[in-house]
Amino acid sequence: MIVPAERTGEVSSMLTDCVAVTNIVVLPGAAHRPAGDVVFCDVAREAASELLERLQELGLDQDGSIAVENVDVSLSETAAAAQEAAPGYGDDAVVWEEIAQRASDDARLTWVFLAFIVIATQIAGIGVLLDSPILIVGAMVLGPEFGPVAAVCFGLLRRDLSLVGAAVRTLAAGFALAIVITFAAATVSRWWGWIDPSWLDAVDRELEFIVKPDKWSFIVALLAGAAGVLSITGGKSSALVGVFISVTTIPAAGSVAVAVALTRWDEVTGSLAQLAVNLAGMVLAGLATLLIQRVAWRNRELGVRP
């Protein structure tokens, strides 16, 4: 933190009184932009969100600066004692400010997001044509769509319509561009004689589930949405890979583009339905998961204040 000099005493006292905080360091006059004292401390993850809220109540986010880093390794008995004193467990904790920052970033329509979703959808389109589960799984892993989906969930939780609107626009623009480009590539391939509608007529197609959504599609989307939000709030990014592989948003988008290029309208409607079912299921489950976590941690955080 960068703290105005006249508030350093108040901030230091607050940190000292908090049982979940340790390793407090104050460097008087070390900061120049903005000017003030630099204060470092370690806080148990379980108490981080409440501590950040209290620092913002003091106006440090406006008159100073607050930056947060994760500590990968801490060999300290005092740090262990602080973590023990904090309510709950670190893996279960939610740092709401961290989620807010990530949601804001993921809701933005960037060139990187567009590049990833276009590439993933084209791979999925090729996978649909070749009836290749390997390519479909690869496209699922590459797809970046869960970030904006999680941002929609968080925006609904906070009733932040601007965040929800930005995330929805990002998803809509991303999928629209990806489908249009993949459609154009498939159309050119058809003109050149590389593909034709018979490619989608294979008997016992392994990927037929993409164009035939059912109750299992919605159930999987619900489970994936809950798992995805838990992986973000708990800092378990490795679990997101499983979420990406579970839902068929990117394959459905690729299937829409290919089916339009090959004038297979029955598969277009089925793929669009699959895309809608997956997105709706993830949003509903993600929002429900965030609501449960907010209620659970609101009760636990009361033990952090002295």
State which residues form the domain around 67: 2-73+80-92
Q: 274 and 129 in one domain?
A: yes
- Listed residues 57, 92, 127: the one ending a domain: 92
Q: 138 and 63 in one domain?
A: no
Q: 242 and 118 in one domain?
A: yes
The whole-number pLDDT of residue 70 equals 86
Q: 19 and 152 in one domain?
A: no
For the chain, what is the domain count?
Answer: 2
Q: 226 and 169 in one domain?
A: yes
Q: 50 and 171 in one domain?
A: no
The whole-number pLDDT of residue 299 equals 54
Q: 188 and 39 in one domain?
A: no
Does residue 281 form part of some domain? yes
Q: 217 and 275 in one domain?
A: yes
Closest CA to 126 of 261, 24, 226: 261
Q: 126 and 246 in one domain?
A: yes
Q: 285 and 173 in one domain?
A: yes
Q: 291 and 145 in one domain?
A: yes
Q: 152 and 42 in one domain?
A: no
Does residue 305 form part of some domain? no
The whole-number pLDDT of residue 202 equals 63
User: What's the predicted TM-score (pTM) here?
Assistant: 0.84
The whole-number pLDDT of residue 159 equals 92
Does residue 260 form part of some domain? yes
The whole-number pLDDT of residue 203 equals 43
Mean pLDDT per 10-residue interval, the chain, length 306 residues:
93 90 93 93 88 90 91 85 77 82 92 95 93 90 92 94 95 96 94 85 68 88 90 74 80 93 89 93 94 76 43
Does residue 306 form part of some domain? no
Cα torsion 257, 260, 261, 266: sign = positive
CA pair distance 245, 243, nearest whole angstrom: 5
